[in-house]
Structures are given as structure tokens and as C-alpha cells.
A = this chain, B = another copy of it.
Amino acid sequence: MELTNKIAAIPLFNGLPLKQHENLAAIAVQKTFKRGQIIFSEGDEGIGFYIILSGRVKIFKLSAEGKEQIFHIMESEEPFGEATVFAGEHYPASAQALVETKVLLFPRQTFVDLISKNPSLALNMLAFLSSRLRTLASLVEDLSLKEVPGRLAAYLLYLSDRNKGATILELDISKNQLASLLGTIPETLSRIFNRMGKDKLIKTTPRHIHILDHQGIVQLACGRKRLA
């Protein structure tokens, strides 16, 4: 059946026996969210966790004054809302569909039952939570120990890596969103793009960023160099 095949393709469920893929398909609930729709809000009761089938979702928190910090932007086959399954009653952050998005929802208790009978699923989940922990730790590091130019440089390197070391990068999120992801505001981000251009580290065209001095960007990201 089609759903079972989709589930079999999800990295989190890698290496599970067919039988388990069928069990997962049996408890999963398909949902669709429109562009801009809130999937859950910080503080909502945690009903389960999600896996993206198609589309794009951002996980974020808002400050009292309305400033937004994006934690992750996730795409196909990535899970979110997972921490609430195993600890805590409420979602610690909000999730919003950035485009039309299809997800699978795995209800909390049924998923816990399943996992407690499947050590390899448990190990996959442990690996996933661990790598999520690393991502968050590096976000803390960036926010606390680097200035905005360093964070942007690190993000450009991440993009470049993700595209097999490409030197021409396409921004897949708006610069406003990127500012939120880097823990700053659009005005500051814009000025820093500008300065990086003047320093001949990058060249920006409307929708692309051309990396001119990869080594220089590495140094900026590690705090071994500053913009003029």
C-alpha cells in the first residue's frame, strides 16, 4: 500500500522490518496545512509528533515584543514536535507551514507503545534526538559566542556544504526569515550582506549569493577575522 511505502522511505524508520512499517502506517494520520497555517502553538497540549511528507515547516518562538527566533526550518521526511512525545505535556515552541504542507501525525501514546516494542526504532529515535541536540547546541554557540557576521558566514558555509560545495547559492528562504533564523533583524542582515560584498567575500544578486572567498568566509565564521 502506498502509505507504507512512503513510511519505509523515511530515514527515521530506516532498517525497520516491513511489519513495523505497516504498523506505523496504521497509526499515522495524514493532515494537510495551507501556506501560513499554524500547526501547533507554543504551550498547546502535545498530541503527538509529525513527519513532513511534502512542504516546509518552521519551528519558532516569539518574544514578548514580537521578535521571532526560528529554531529550524524543516522539509520532506523530517520529524518535528518529537520532544513532547517523551517528556513534557506541551509543545515548547510553535510550528507553522511556510507553504502548502502534507504531514503524518503519529499520536503520542500509540507511538510510545510501538517504540517500546521496537529497539531499532528506539535507537533511530535516540540518534535523531541526539543530532537535534547538537544542532541546538550549535545554535546556542552561535547566538552567544559569535556576532552576526560570523553567524551569517556559518550559515553560508552550511548552505554551500549542503549543495556539494557549490559556490553559487540559492537562498531558499526570504531574507526576513533568514534574519529570524540567525537571531537578528532584516535591517542588520542587509547591512552585513553589504559589508561582506565590500570585502569581496561574496557577490549578491537578487536571488543568489556567489561565494568569492571561501577561505575568508571560513575565517569569519570561526571568529578569526572581522569585517571592515
Q: Using a CB–CB distance below 8 Å, which chain A residues touch chain B?
A: 61-65, 67, 69, 71, 82-88, 92-93, 112, 115-120, 122-123, 125-134, 136-141, 143-146, 183, 222-224
Task: Quote the shortest CB–CB distance from A225 to chain B (angstroms).
Answer: 10
| Residue among B63, B86, B119 making CB contact with A130, cutoff 8 Å | B86
Assembly of this chain: how many copies? 2
Task: Give bound CA distance, A75 to B134, whole Å.
Answer: 22
| Residue among B87, B112, B138, B146 making CB contact with A63, cutoff 8 Å | B146
Majority-rule SS of A interface residues: helix
Task: Give bound CA distance, A206 to B144, whole Å.
Answer: 28
Task: Give bound CA distance, A223 to B66, whole Å.
Answer: 11
On chain B, the residues within 8 Å of A134 by CB distance are 83, 87-88, 92
On chain B, the residues within 8 Å of A93 by CB distance are 137
On chain B, the residues within 8 Å of A222 by CB distance are 64
Sorted nearest first, the 8 A-B pairs with minimum C-beta distance are A64-B223, A63-B145, A87-B130, A122-B122, A86-B130, A83-B130, A69-B144, A86-B126
Supply 9 further A-B pairs (C-beta < 8 A) apart from A116-B122, A133-B133.
Answer: A63-B145, A63-B146, A65-B223, A69-B144, A85-B126, A86-B126, A86-B129, A126-B129, A143-B144
Task: Give bound CA distance, A132 to B133, whole Å.
Answer: 8
Q: Which residue of B has the minimal Cβ distance to A68?
A: B145
On chain B, the residues within 8 Å of A223 by CB distance are 63-65
Task: Give bound CA distance, A24 to B210, whole Å.
Answer: 53
